[in-house]
């Protein structure tokens, strides 16, 4: 907008007459805050009403911004989750190492196995490691401290007893061992394996049976909802839950822990899902949501 100067014919105002006006304006500027404060006190509105009446300044941080800046705690802050990717892609090269036996409390079992694969050769070990890494990303964004029992950073293993100790030493709030099954074609669906009550040798699962069942049920529900994978039609009687006493990873755990068999690699319909990166992301999301539900209960 342009500026137009005063009319040259207008009478000139003597300079000395501006002083009273300036003094008056200054006095009002000084008195205004006191008048406003007095009105607030008399009116009974107080500081809260003043804040409510004042709109937030442009660019003020929102609660989401606060969370990003770390001023609002993330949902899983302070929680420790251990993810156990079943088997190891290099196990097949170290059969002597993985075939040695370890004590699991009530019996002895092989240190580890090679796992299964699809008919086309996509291995369970590759599947579990991929899903575990995706889960780590999801859970860390929620504030959890996440540890993997192996991250493709060792040639084989670890053995099942060491896998259990990793969760125990981390004082994990939840441990999930990720697997895929190798049953006959036509057998499909997922199932979650829960620890039985075992008290023998170094094994005593009695304190973790109940919380592990809670963890497993929540994972099963979330996994089914997110992935659309049906509950197993060959294990668990339609519940998608199976309780076992012969798994060292469960027997030797002192913290809540479950296994999940995400599907059957030998069934063509399940294999099509397990080999899909998009579906593996859903699997990671479903398992993670079950863990989050358990930790926020």
Rounded to two decimals, the pTM is: 0.77
Q: Which residue do the tokens 């004082």 mark?
A: 171
Would you write out the chain's pLDDT as a tens digit for each of its 297 residues?
Answer: 433 333 333 344 444 444 444 333 333 343 444 433 333 333 343 333 333 334 444 444 444 445 556 567 899 999 999 999 999 999 999 999 999 999 999 999 999 999 999 999 999 999 999 999 999 999 999 999 999 999 999 999 999 999 999 999 999 999 999 999 999 999 999 999 999 999 999 999 999 999 999 999 999 999 999 999 999 999 999 999 999 999 999 999 999 999 999 999 999 999 999 999 999 999 999 999 999 999 999
Among residues 124, 217, 229, 261, the one annotated as catalytic is 261
Q: Residue 158: is the preceding peptide bond cis (ω within 30°)?
A: yes
Q: What is the location of CATH 3.40.630.40 in the chain?
A: 80-295
Torsion of CA 37, 39, 45, 51, to 10 degrees: -40
CB-CB contact of 80 with 140 (8 Å)? no
The class that CATH gives domain 80-295 is alpha beta
Instruction: State the helix-helix crossing angle for 46-53 and 18-43, rounded to 10 degrees.
Output: 120
Separation of alpha carbons 66 and 62, rounded Å: 6
Residue 261 designated active-site: yes
Per-residue pLDDT, 68: 58
DSSP state of 78: T
């Amino acid at each position: 907008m342009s500026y137009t100067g005063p009319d040259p014919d207008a009478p000139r105002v003597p300079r000395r007459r501006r002083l009273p006006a300036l003094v008056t304006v200054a006095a009002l500027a000084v008195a205004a805050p006191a008048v406003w404060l007095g009105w607030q006190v008399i009116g009974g509105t107080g500081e809260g009403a003043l804040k409510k009446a004042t709109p937030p300044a442009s660019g003020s941080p929102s609660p989401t911004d606060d969370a990003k800046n770390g001023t609002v705690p993330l949902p899983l802050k302070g929680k420790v989750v251990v993810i156990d990717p079943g088997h190891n892609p290099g196990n097949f090269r170290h059969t002597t190492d993985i075939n040695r036996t370890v004590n699991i409390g009530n019996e002895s079992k092989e240190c580890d196995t090679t796992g299964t694969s699809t008919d086309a050769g996509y291995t369970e070990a590759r599947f579990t490691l991929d899903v575990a890494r995706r889960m780590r990303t999801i859970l860390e964004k929620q504030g959890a401290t996440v540890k993997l029992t192996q991250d493709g950073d060792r040639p084989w293993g670890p053995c099942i007893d060491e896998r259990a100790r990793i969760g125990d030493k981390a004082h994990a709030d939840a441990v999930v061992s990720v697997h895929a099954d190798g049953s006959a074609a036509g057998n499909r669906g997922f199932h979650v394996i829960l620890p039985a009550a075992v008290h023998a040798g170094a094994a005593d699962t009695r304190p973790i049976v109940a919380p592990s069942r809670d963890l497993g049920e929540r994972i099963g529900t979330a996994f089914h909802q997110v992935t659309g994978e049906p509950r197993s039609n060959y294990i668990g009687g339609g519940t998608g839950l199976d309780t076992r006493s012969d798994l060292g990873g469960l027997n030797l755990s002192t913290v809540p822990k479950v296994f999940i068999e995400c599907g059957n690699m030998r069934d063509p319909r399940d294999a099509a899902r397990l080999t899909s990166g998009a579906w593996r992301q859903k699997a990671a999301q479903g398992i993670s949501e079950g863990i989050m539900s358990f930790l926020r209960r």
